[in-house]
Amino acid sequence: MTEMTRIEDRNSLGGQVVWFVALSLIGIVLYSWSLHVLKRPFDFYFVISLLAPCGYYYWKYPTKKQGLPPHELLSRKVALVLLAYSFVYFVLIYFVHILAASIALWLVQFMIPVIILKVSKVRLSAIGFEWRKIFGNFSDVIIVGVWLTPFLFFGVRDAEAIRRMTGTPSFYLYLPLGVLYMLLIVAFWEEFFFRGVLLRSWEACTGKVAIPVFLSGLLFGVYHFPMRYFNQRSPFFHDAMGSLASTIQEQFLMGLFLAFVVYRSRNVWQGIWLHAFLNGFSSIYQVSKMVKFS
């Protein structure tokens, strides 16, 4: 390695650190603001519960972007096309709400991006998705899932009802059903789109680490805003500040966490399984009301 290369590497690392610190501060400010609007205390355990797995993935998966073959990296040209499509999609969901509904996700978040990639002659592996890696390093998902479980018992909706179910056999029936249900209706499509298409597109366009992770989390929150603001059953119906604060507190932080996991592992399936587990656990009680075992 030449001296010039060493200098470039140090400058690159320094720039990444600056971006990481700056965007981390912005994230903290946004999270603090959301808690202020929602009149909720700072949940230190919740933050630690997400930071610890991020540290684990940082240690377990060192960045090896420079050693990847060309077909494993998304070109800037294709990335711009995918981002342009994503921009149109985000605008449309504010006017055509069904585009954000589960019934349409297979088309707008999976099929259309896949067609764009196929027409551009780009493999799905360029966005970190491969069917053969469906259970790749699945032990990491289990480790993180076990770590997060105590938080889920007390931090999700219907937590009290779920805790009452833990002593019964039905809990161990409804948990895998909840995970499978969420895997099929939201987790697969959203992770493919946000942690696959968007994350790698921003990476190709910026050449940074922190920016793609931050934007992926931010856009994940923006995407969920209409589901609160336009939903008559939501406590934040037509409440812009409340809807924004709620999405920042939940989807923005969760989006950052999942984006970092997928960025380090370069496997969208890691995000899919964790997303399905988090949503599936929180839906155990709801699933138990939909499906009855005699």
In order along its 294 residues, the chain shows pLDDT tens digits of 443 333 334 446 666 778 888 888 998 899 999 999 999 998 888 888 999 999 999 999 886 554 556 556 789 999 999 999 999 999 999 999 888 888 899 999 999 999 999 999 999 999 999 999 999 999 999 999 999 999 999 888 888 999 998 888 888 899 999 999 999 999 999 999 999 999 999 999 998 888 999 999 999 999 999 999 999 999 999 999 999 999 999 999 999 999 999 999 999 999 999 999 999 999 999 888 887 765
Residues 6+ apart with CB under 8 A from 131: none
Residue 9 lies in a domain: no
Q: Residue 2's pLDDT is what?
A: 41
Residue 171 lies in a domain: yes
Q: Residue 15's pLDDT is what?
A: 67
Distance from first CA to last CA of the chain, Å, rounded? 68
Residues 6+ apart with CB under 8 A from 243: 225, 228, 229, 234, 236
Residue 74 lies in a domain: yes
CA distances from 79 to 73, 114, 169, 217 (A): 10, 13, 48, 18
Residue 2 lies in a domain: no
Count Cα neighbours of 107 within 13 Å in the Cβ-side half-sphere: 8
- Give the number of domains in the chain: 1
Q: Are 193 and 121 in contact (CB under 8 A)?
A: no
Separation of alpha carbons 136 and 103, rounded Å: 28
Residue 7 lies in a domain: no
Q: Domain of 133?
A: 27-290
Separation of alpha carbons 77 and 264, rounded Å: 23
Residue 68 lies in a domain: yes
Looking at residue 186, the DSSP 8-state letter turns out to be I
Residue 217 lies in a domain: yes
Q: Residue 1's pLDDT is what?
A: 42
Separation of alpha carbons 126 and 65, rounded Å: 11
Residue 204 lies in a domain: yes
CA distances from 66 to 70, 72, 151, 268 (A): 10, 11, 37, 19
Q: Residue 44's pLDDT is what?
A: 83
Look up the pTM and report it. Answer: 0.91
